């Protein structure tokens, strides 16, 4: 029994000395790397599980030799050590607001409402960007009135029609910019009308393919002519269907309660304007967002 007690005392002393030497050795050779971190708690492990002392010592020694000397006798000693791969992250936080193609409108509206409530819980006085979708197409005056004192970054404009009219983004720095932007879009539509007129004049269909192309050109000309006619009178044009605003919790909740607003979908407060992808919801979409997208969407 006295021999067994002496052996246990020898084991305890050996364990402490071994752990201390391994820790000092790893600190000199590996610094604060993975092996150094591993030996930082080896003493506690050895004391808790003395039966594993031999196995732990062998494995730890082998690990240190592996880390300092290479992969083993067959390793290519002429190969330079490979630097660790550090994952990179985008410099700008990114987010998407609005429903993706194929999304159920009812599911999206419920999710956007929850996001607005969640933003209210985490905002801590931080303003954020949000897309505000209207229940119907508004005139510029109506849209600006809905926004009120809340800062507006952009508006989304489309002439409502069964024809494939285009959805266009209009940057806004002041309330007058929305009218100016719609006027500019109307001028583009007028130029597009002339382009299709010229194409049709030069097209002489002789095949089914040519005739299909002529039909497509005529439809595009009709669409552009409608857009040019409606957008050339922006004050009367019911064509604004969404806006991107920047405001705090109180401002966004005020917008959400407006009867002309269908939904307010906020971005995370840390996402800047250039990190946002905006998918505004047009008023006529009631069931599912088309998977192939909307014209000009």
pLDDT in tens, 235-258: 999 999 999 999 999 999 999 999
Judge contact between 98 and 280, C-beta under 8 A. Answer: yes
One domain for residues 109 and 63: no
286 found inside a domain: no
One domain for residues 54 and 145: no
Query: Could you give the C-alpha distances from 128 to 48, 111, 146, 150, 273, in angstroms and in order?
Result: 53, 17, 18, 11, 9
> How confident is the model over 12-47, as pLDDT tens digits?
554 455 555 545 544 554 444 444 444 445 455 544
**Range of the structural domain that residue 64 is part of:** 2-69
One domain for residues 10 and 57: yes
CA-CA distance, 166 to 223, in Å (whole number)? 9
What six digits make up the tokens of 127? 């303003």
Mean pLDDT for 94-101 is: 94
Judge contact between 158 and 282, C-beta under 8 A. Answer: yes
In three-state secondary structure terms, 274 is helix
Q: Check pLDDT > 70 for residue 85.
A: no
Q: Report the pLDDT value the prediction gives residue 58, as an integer from 0 to 100.
A: 46
143 found inside a domain: yes
- Please spell the DSSP secondary structure of 90-147, one letter per residue: -SS--EEESPPTT-BHHHHHHHHHHHHHHHHHH-TT--EEEEEEEEEEE-HHHHHHHH
Greatest alpha-carbon span in the chain: 113
> How confident is the model over 200-237, as pLDDT tens digits?
999 888 899 989 999 999 999 999 999 999 999 999 99
One domain for residues 134 and 262: yes
What six digits make up the tokens of 173? 């720095």
201 found inside a domain: no
113 found inside a domain: yes
215 found inside a domain: no
253 found inside a domain: yes
CA-CA distance, 64 to 26, in Å (whole number)? 7
Judge contact between 220 and 196, C-beta under 8 A. Answer: yes
**Structural domains counted in the chain:** 2
One domain for residues 158 and 256: yes
183 found inside a domain: no
């Amino acid at each position: 029994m006295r021999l067994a007690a002496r052996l246990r005392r020898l084991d305890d002393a050996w364990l402490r000395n071994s752990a201390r030497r391994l820790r000092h050795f790893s600190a000199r050779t590996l610094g604060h790397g993975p092996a150094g971190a591993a030996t930082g708690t080896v003493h506690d492990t050895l004391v808790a599980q003395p039966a594993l002392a031999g196995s732990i010592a062998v494995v730890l020694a082998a690990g240190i030799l592996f880390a300092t000397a290479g992969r083993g006798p067959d390793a290519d000693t002429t190969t330079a050590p490979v630097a660790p791969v550090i994952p990179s992250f985008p410099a700008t936080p990114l987010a998407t607001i609005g429903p993706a193609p194929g999304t159920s409108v009812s599911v999206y509206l419920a999710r956007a409402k929850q996001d607005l409530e969640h933003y209210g819980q985490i905002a801590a006085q931080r303003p954020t960007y949000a897309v505000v979708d209207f229940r119907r197409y508004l005139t510029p005056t109506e849209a600006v009135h809905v926004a009120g004192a809340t800062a507006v970054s952009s508006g989304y404009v489309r002439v409502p029609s069964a024809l494939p009219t285009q959805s266009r983004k209009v940057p806004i720095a002041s309330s007058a910019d929305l009218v100016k932007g719609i006027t500019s879009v109307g001028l583009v539509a007028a130029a597009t009308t002339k382009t299709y007129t010229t194409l049709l004049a030069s097209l002489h269909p002789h095949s089914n393919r040519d005739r299909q192309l002529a039909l497509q050109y005529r439809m595009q000309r009709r669409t552009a002519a409608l857009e040019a006619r409606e957008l050339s009178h922006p004050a009367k044009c019911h064509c604004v269907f969404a806006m991107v605003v920047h405001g705090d919790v109180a401002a966004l909740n005020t917008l959400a309660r407006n009867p002309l607003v269908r939904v307010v979908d906020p971005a995370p407060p840390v996402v800047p304007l250039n990190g946002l992808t905006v998918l505004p919801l047009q008023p006529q979409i009631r069931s599912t967002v088309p998977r192939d997208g909307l014209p000009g969407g």
